[in-house]
Amino acid sequence: MNAEIITIGEEIISGHTLDTNSAYIASKLSEIGIAVRYRVSVGDRVEDIEEAILAAWNRSAVTIATGGLGPTTDDITKKAICNAFDRKLVFHDDLLKLLENRFRNLNRKLPAMAQNQALQPQGAELLDNPIGSALGILFQEDERCFISLPGVPSEMEAIIDQSVLPLLLKREGRKHIEIRRIRTTGITESELAQAIADLEPIRENMWLAYLPGHQGTDLRVVCRSENEAEAKAEVDKLSEAIVGRVGEFIYTIGDQTISEVVGSLLKNGGKTIATAESCTGGLMAKYLTDVPGSSEYYRGSVVAYSNEIKQSVLKVPPEMLEQYGAVSAQVAEAMATGVRSLIGADFGLSSTGIAGPDGGTPEKPVGLVYIGCAQASGVVSKKVNLFGTRHRVRERSATMALDILRKIMIGR
Amino acid sequence: MNAEIITIGEEIISGHTLDTNSAYIASKLSEIGIAVRYRVSVGDRVEDIEEAILAAWNRSAVTIATGGLGPTTDDITKKAICNAFDRKLVFHDDLLKLLENRFRNLNRKLPAMAQNQALQPQGAELLDNPIGSALGILFQEDERCFISLPGVPSEMEAIIDQSVLPLLLKREGRKHIEIRRIRTTGITESELAQAIADLEPIRENMWLAYLPGHQGTDLRVVCRSENEAEAKAEVDKLSEAIVGRVGEFIYTIGDQTISEVVGSLLKNGGKTIATAESCTGGLMAKYLTDVPGSSEYYRGSVVAYSNEIKQSVLKVPPEMLEQYGAVSAQVAEAMATGVRSLIGADFGLSSTGIAGPDGGTPEKPVGLVYIGCAQASGVVSKKVNLFGTRHRVRERSATMALDILRKIMIGR
ipTM of the complex: 0.71
Smallest Cβ distance to B300: which of A111, A154, A304? A304
- The crossing angle, in degrees rounded to 10, of helices A258-269 and A390-409 is 30
**Helix locations, A257-389, DSSP H:** 258-269, 283-289, 307-312, 318-324, 329-343
Given a contact cutoff of 8 angstroms between Cβ atoms, the answer to whether A60 and A4 are in contact is yes
What's the pLDDT at B123?
92
* A128 or A103, greater pLDDT: A128
Question: What is the per-residue DSSP string for A211-252?
Answer: EEETTEEEEEEEEEES-HHHHHHHHHHHHHHHHHHHGGGEEE
The residue among A23, A338, A187, A306 whose CA lies nearest residue B301 is A306
Which residue, A143, A172, A201, sits at the end of a domain? A172
Burial A138-156 (b: 16+ CB within 10 A, else e): bbeeeebbbbbbbbbebbb
Chain A nearest C-alpha distance from B112 (Å): 23
Would you call B367 and A308 a contact, using CB atoms and an 8 Å cutoff?
no
Mean pLDDT of A244-270: 96
Confidence of residue A71 (pLDDT cuts 50, 70, 90): low
To probe the interface with B, which of A208, A272, A303, A342 has the most B CB atoms within 10 Å? A303
Smallest Cβ distance to B190: which of A12, A72, A344? A72
**B324 lies within 8 A of chain A by CB:** no
A41 contacts on B by Cβ (under 8 Å): 22, 38-40
Chain B nearest C-alpha distance from A251 (Å): 21
Both A144 and A182 in a single domain?
no
What's the pLDDT at B175?
66
Both B39 and B96 in a single domain?
yes
State yes or no: cis peptide before A201, omega within 30 of 0: no
Chain A nearest C-alpha distance from B285 (Å): 5
Residues of the domain holding B396: 258-409
Which residue, A222, A237, A253, sits at the end of a domain? A253
Both A155 and A249 in a single domain?
no
What is residue A117's DSSP assignment? G
Whether the predicted pLDDT of A176 surpasses 80:
no
Both B213 and B330 in a single domain?
no
> Which chain A residue lies closest to B391 (C-alpha atoms)?
A290
- Alpha-carbon dihedral angle through residues B353, B359, B362, B368, given to the nearest 10 degrees: 20
Given a contact cutoff of 8 angstroms between Cβ atoms, the answer to whether A161 and A198 are in contact is no
What's the pLDDT at B73?
45
Distance from C-alpha of A196 to C-alpha of B36, rounded to nearest angstrom? 42
Return the CATH number at B152: 3.40.980.10
Question: In this structure, is the dihedral angle defined by the CA atoms of residues B309, B312, B314 and B315, taken in order, positive or negative?
Answer: positive
What's the pLDDT at B381?
97
Burial B342-363 (b: 16+ CB within 10 A, else e): bbbbbbbbbbbbbbbeebeeee
Calculate the average pLDDT of chain A.
90
**B119 lies within 8 A of chain A by CB:** no
What's the pLDDT at B174?
56
**A362 lies within 8 A of chain B by CB:** no
What's the pLDDT at B71?
62
pLDDT in tens, A129-143: 888 888 899 999 888
CA neighbours within 13 Å on the CB side: how many for A369?
Answer: 28
Would you call B43 and A37 a contact, using CB atoms and an 8 Å cutoff?
yes
The residue among B355, B360, B352, B369 whose CA lies nearest residue B309 is B352
Return the CATH number at B197: 3.30.70.2860
Both B368 and B308 in a single domain?
yes
Both A9 and A148 in a single domain?
yes
Task: List the end-to-end C-alpha distance of chain A, in Å, as a whole number.
Answer: 44
Counting Cβ atoms within 10 Å, is residue B117 exposed (0-12), middle (13-18) or buried (19+)? Answer: buried
Both A208 and A143 in a single domain?
no
Interface of B with A in 290-319 (CB under 8 A): 290, 292-295, 298-306, 308-309, 312-313
pLDDT in tens, A180-219: 999 999 988 778 888 898 888 777 778 787 777 778 888 8
Question: In this structure, is the dihedral angle defined by the CA atoms of residues A314, A318, A323 and A327, taken in order, positive or negative?
Answer: positive
Both A348 and A228 in a single domain?
no
**B236 lies within 8 A of chain A by CB:** no
> How are beta strands A2-8 and A35-42 bridged, if at all?
parallel
The residue among A125, A133, A152, A165 whose CA lies nearest residue A28 is A165
Mean pLDDT of A156-163: 95
Q: Which residues contact B291 (CB under 8 A, 6 or more apart)?
A: B257, B259, B260, B263
Distance from C-alpha of A260 to C-alpha of A273, rounded to nearest angstrom? 14
Given a contact cutoff of 8 angstroms between Cβ atoms, the answer to whether B380 and B407 are in contact is no
Distance from C-alpha of B319 to C-alpha of B324, rounded to nearest angstrom? 8
Would you call A30 and B14 a contact, using CB atoms and an 8 Å cutoff?
yes
Both A135 and A158 in a single domain?
yes
What's the pLDDT at A75?
65
What is residue B205's DSSP assignment? T
Would you call B188 and A342 a contact, using CB atoms and an 8 Å cutoff?
no
* A19 or B252, greater pLDDT: B252
Domain count, chain B: 3
Both B33 and B62 in a single domain?
yes
What is residue A315's DSSP assignment? -
Would you call A106 and B388 a contact, using CB atoms and an 8 Å cutoff?
no
**A58 lies within 8 A of chain B by CB:** no
Interface of B with A in 121-150 (CB under 8 A): none
Tens of pLDDT along chain B (412 residues) come to 789 999 998 778 887 778 889 999 998 887 777 889 999 999 888 999 999 999 999 999 999 999 988 665 456 899 999 999 999 999 988 888 888 887 787 677 777 767 778 889 999 999 998 877 788 999 998 889 999 999 888 889 999 999 998 898 777 665 677 889 999 999 988 889 889 988 987 777 787 877 777 889 889 888 878 888 998 999 999 999 999 999 999 999 998 999 999 999 999 999 999 999 999 999 999 999 999 999 999 999 999 988 999 999 999 999 999 999 999 999 999 999 999 999 999 999 999 999 888 888 988 999 999 999 999 999 999 999 988 888 889 999 999 999 999 999 998 8
Distance from C-alpha of A325 to C-alpha of A319, rounded to nearest angstrom? 9
- Name the 3-class secondary structure at B340: helix
Mean pLDDT of A274-294: 95
Would you call B22 and A15 a contact, using CB atoms and an 8 Å cutoff?
yes
Both A283 and A386 in a single domain?
yes
Which residue, B224, B253, B282, sits at the end of a domain? B253
Interface of B with A in 331-350 (CB under 8 A): 342-344
Both A392 and A283 in a single domain?
yes
Chain A nearest C-alpha distance from B189 (Å): 8
**B164 lies within 8 A of chain A by CB:** no
A301 contacts on B by Cβ (under 8 Å): 282, 301-303, 305
What's the pLDDT at A72?
65
- The crossing angle, in degrees rounded to 10, of helices B77-85 and B46-59 is 50
**A217 lies within 8 A of chain B by CB:** no
Given a contact cutoff of 8 angstroms between Cβ atoms, the answer to whether A336 and A379 are in contact is yes
Distance from C-alpha of A399 to C-alpha of B226, rounded to nearest angstrom? 51
The residue among A59, A75, A53 whose CA lies nearest residue A6 is A53
Mean pLDDT of A323-329: 96
